[in-house]
Amino acid sequence: MTTQAATFTTPATSESALEPCCLVIFGASGDLTARMLLPALYNLALDRRLPPRFAMVGFARTEWTDEEFRDHARKAVEEHSRRKVDPDVWSTFASALHYMHGGYNDPTSHDRLSEKLEAVQEAHNTGGNHLFYLAVPPTAFDDIVAQLGRGPYGRSREGAGWSRVIVEKPFGTDLKSARDLNHLLHSVFHEDDVYRIDHYLGKETVQNILVFRFANGIFEPIWNRRYVDHVQITVAESLGIEGRGEYYDHSGALRDIMQNHMMQLLSLLAMEPPLAVNGRSVRNEKVKVLHAVRLFERDEVALSTARGQYSSGWVAGAEVPGYREEEGIPKTSATETYVAARFYVDSWRWADVPFYMRTAKRLPKRSTEIAVFFKRAPRLLFQDYTDEPNLEPNVLSIRIQPNEGISLKFLTKVPGSPMRLRPANMDFLYGASFVTQAPSAYETLLLDALRGDATLFTRSDEVEAAWTITDRIIDGWRAMPEPGFPNYEAGSWGPACADDLIAKDGRQWRRL
Ligand code: BG6
C-alpha cells in the first residue's frame, strides 16, 4: 500500500474522542453512495468531524481502481454535496478513499477484501475498528452478512477492535422476512452493533420532536387523551416513483413509507418520557408505543384503511403519466401509491384518540407534517359571533419538511366591531431562527454510527413491531376484492375513499 495516511484534525468537542475506524461500503458504485453517502462523508470531513484516523473502502461489482473511484467520488460530491468542494479538504479526504471490486457472494472476493482491509488498517492506523455499510439491494444482504460471518468480523472479533453494520431499508418485506434478517444479522453481530437506517430519524425536525415535547414544560401536561382530540400524520410527495418501478411495485406506499418512516414519527409523538436520551431508554419507550397500536382484525381493515393508485394528471404545471404507465409497472398493477389508515394506541395516555395517517405519491405538493388537534372550547360564549356550528380547534402542527417549523393555531378577535373571530398562527420557522445550515440526515446518522450511538437507529424489536401492525393490513387487503385502480388523479389530494375514512368520524384531512 503506497497511500499516505490521511489525518483528519477534529475540533475540540466531544467528537475528538471518535475512535479510529475503517468504513466499508458495499454498493460503493451505486446511486445511494453517490447521492447520499459520499457527500455526507465529505461534509463531515469539511466540518472536521470524521475520526482523526479514518479510511473508507468501497466494494462493488464495477471494476474500478482506487483512482477511478476517487474520480467518481469527486464528481458525486460536486453534484450532490450541500457545500462546494474545498481543494485542500478534498485532497486529504480523497487519500482516505479506497476501492475494490468483487462479487457479494464470492468467498474469494471477500478474502481479498479482508487482505485489503488489513493493508488499509496498517496504512491509516485505523486500529482494527470496522463499520460496514450495506448500501445494496436487500437481495444481497444475506450473502454479504454470511461472508462477513466467515471472516474475522462481528462477534468473532471480540477484543480485536469493534465491528458495526449499518443496514439500509427496506428491512424485510413482512414480519417473517424481517425476523429472518434479524436472525441472520444476530448470527454475526451483537444487536448493539446493528444500525438499521431510517433516514427520517436523522432529520433535524424529527429529532426535535423529543426536545419539543420533553424540554418544555407546557406541552406534556396537555399531551394526552384529555386534551387531544386526534392526530394527523401526513407524508405527501409530489414525486412519482422516479424510475424505481421494479422496487416500488413490490413495495407500495404501505411498505415504502408507512411501515417505517411514519411508524417512527408515531412512536416519537406518542411515547412516554424516556429515562435518559440514549439508545436504550428512547427505544424502550418507542417500542412500547408500537406494541400498544391496536392490531386490525381482518374485517376491520376495510373500515380503518383506504388505498389508492394515481392515474395521469398534472403536478406543478407538468403533465405526468399514471402509475400503470410508468416504466417497469405492469398494466394491471394493483400496487397502492396512496395509503391512509386510522390507528389507535391503546395506552393509558392515548386510549380512544384516533391517529390518522396518510402517505402518497403524486399529490399536489411535498409536505410532511404532524398535526395535533386539541379538543374544542365550548361555543357558549361566542355563539353570536361566529356562524360556524363549532369553534375551530387549536392545532399544533410540526412541519418536518419543507418550511421546517412549528405552528400553533388559535382563535383571535378581528379588530373592530361587531365582534368576529378568526384563526391566527403562532409560527416558529427554522430558517428564520437559525442561521446555520442543518446537516443532512445521512451526515447525522453516519456520525452517530461512527460514535457508536444507536439512538437514531431502529432496534430489532421496533422493526418487528412495525411489521406486525403492517402485516395485518396486508393480510386484510389480500382478503378484499381487487381495488378499482386507478382511483385518484395525479395532482389531486387522493381518492374519495380516503376522505370517507376520516369523514365518517366527523373529521376531515387537514389542508396542507
Ligand atoms: C424513501 C422512500 O425511504 O423515502 C421514497 O423509499 C421516498 O419512496 C423517500 O420518496 C422520501 O424521503 P424524504 O426524505 O424525501 O421525505
User: What's the CA-to-centroid distance between 231 and ligand 1, angstroms?
Assistant: 22
Predicted pLDDT of residue 12: 47
> Residue 169 carries which DSSP code?
S
- Determine the Cα angle at 166 with ends 90 and 104, to 5°: 90
CA of 199 to the centre of ligand 1 (A): 8
Mean pLDDT is lowest, of 142-151, 227-236, 351-360, for 142-151
pLDDT digits (tens, 9 = 90+) for 356-399: 999 999 999 999 999 999 999 988 788 887 777 788 999 999 99
Q: What is the pLDDT of residue 157?
A: 61
pTM above 0.75?
Answer: yes
With a cut of 60, say whether residue 11 has pLDDT above it: no
Average pLDDT of the chain to the nearest whole number:
93
Distance CA 493, CA 450 (A): 41
- Among left, alpha and beta (phi > 0; psi -120 to 50; other), residue 225 is alpha
Question: Does the pLDDT value for residue 177 go beyond 80?
Answer: yes
Asked if the model's pLDDT at residue 1 lies above 50, the reply is: no
Among 80, 230, 261, 291, the one annotated catalytic: 261
Nearest CA to ligand 1 atom 15: 237
In the predicted model, what is the mean pLDDT of residues 245-256?
95
Q: Whose CA is nearest to atom 8 of ligand 1?
A: 256
Task: State the average pLDDT over residues 291-305.
Answer: 97
- Smallest CA-to-CA distance from 58 within 75, 77, 40, 37 is with 37
Mean pLDDT of 164-190: 95
Place of cell 408507512: 258
Give the mutation target among 32, 169, 197, 199 for probing the ligand 1 site: most ligand atoms within 8 A of CB.
Answer: 199
- pLDDT greater than 90 at residue 34: yes
Ligand 1 pocket test target in 233, 257, 369, 443 with most atoms within 8 Å of CB: 257
CA atoms of 391 and 375, how far apart (whole Å):
10
Kind and range of the H or E run holding 107: helix 107-124
Give the pLDDT band (50/70/90) at residue 167.
very high
What whole-number distance in Å separates Cα of residue 379 and Cα of residue 401?
Answer: 34
CA angle 115, 116, 119 (to 5 degrees): 90
CA distance 54 to 95: 10
Q: What's the 71 CA to ligand 1 centre distance in angstroms?
A: 28
Quick check: 15 pLDDT over 80? no
Distance 168 CA to ligand 1 centre (A): 13
pLDDT of residue 155: 66
261 belongs to the catalytic site: yes
pLDDT in tens, 305-342: 999 999 999 999 999 999 999 999 999 999 999 999 99
Distances in Å between the alpha carbon of 113 and those of 59, 110, 144, 352, 498?
A: 8, 5, 12, 55, 51
94-148 tens-digit pLDDT: 999 999 999 999 999 999 999 999 999 999 999 899 999 999 999 999 999 999 9
Cα–chain-centroid distance for residue 139? 20
Tell me the β-bridge partners of 314: 319
Do 391 and 376 meet the contact criterion of CB atoms below 8 Å apart? Answer: yes
Predicted local distance difference test score (pLDDT) of residue 9: 64
Bridge-based pairing of strands 367-374 and 228-236 is antiparallel
User: What does the pLDDT read at residue 160?
Assistant: 77
List beta partners, residue 373: 230, 395
Convert the pLDDT of each residue in 184-217 to its tens digit: 999 999 999 999 999 999 999 999 999 999 999 9
- Type of residue numbered 370: I
Question: Is there an atom of ligand 1 within 6 Å of 198 CB?
Answer: no
Whole-number Å distance, alpha carbon 421 to ligand 1 midpoint, is 39
Angle at CA of residue 35, ends 79 and 491, nearest 5°: 95
Amino acid, res. 108? T
Cα angle vertex 268, ends 262, 269, to 5°? 90
Residue 221 near residue 228 (C-beta atoms within 8 A)? no
| CA–CA distance, 120 with 126 (Å, rounded to integer) | 8
Task: Report the nearest atom of ligand 1 relative to the CA of 248.
Answer: 8
Q: Which amino acid is at 9?
A: T
- What's the CA-to-centroid distance between 337 and ligand 1, angstroms? 13
Q: Is 256 in the pocket of ligand 1 (CB under 6 A)?
A: yes
| Nine cell digits for residue 498 | 380516503
Which residues touch 416 (CB under 8 Å, ≥6 apart)?
none
Of 261, 335, 339, 443, the one to substitute when testing ligand 1's pocket (max ligand atoms within 8 A of C-beta) is 261
Residue with the larger pLDDT of the pair 393 and 436: 393
pLDDT-based confidence at residue 435 (cuts at 50, 70, 90): confident
CB distance 237 to ligand 1 below 6 Å: yes
Instruction: Output 403 or 267, whichever has higher pLDDT.
Output: 267
Task: Quote the pLDDT of residue 474.
Answer: 97
Per-residue pLDDT averaged across 175-180, rounded?
97
Query: What is the C-alpha to C-alpha distance for residues 46 and 48, in angstroms, rounded to an integer?
Result: 5
Three-state secondary structure along 325-390? HCCCCCCCCCCCCEEEEEEEECCCCCCCCEEEEEEECCCCCCEEEEEEEECCCCCHHHCCCCCCCC
pLDDT for res 53? 94
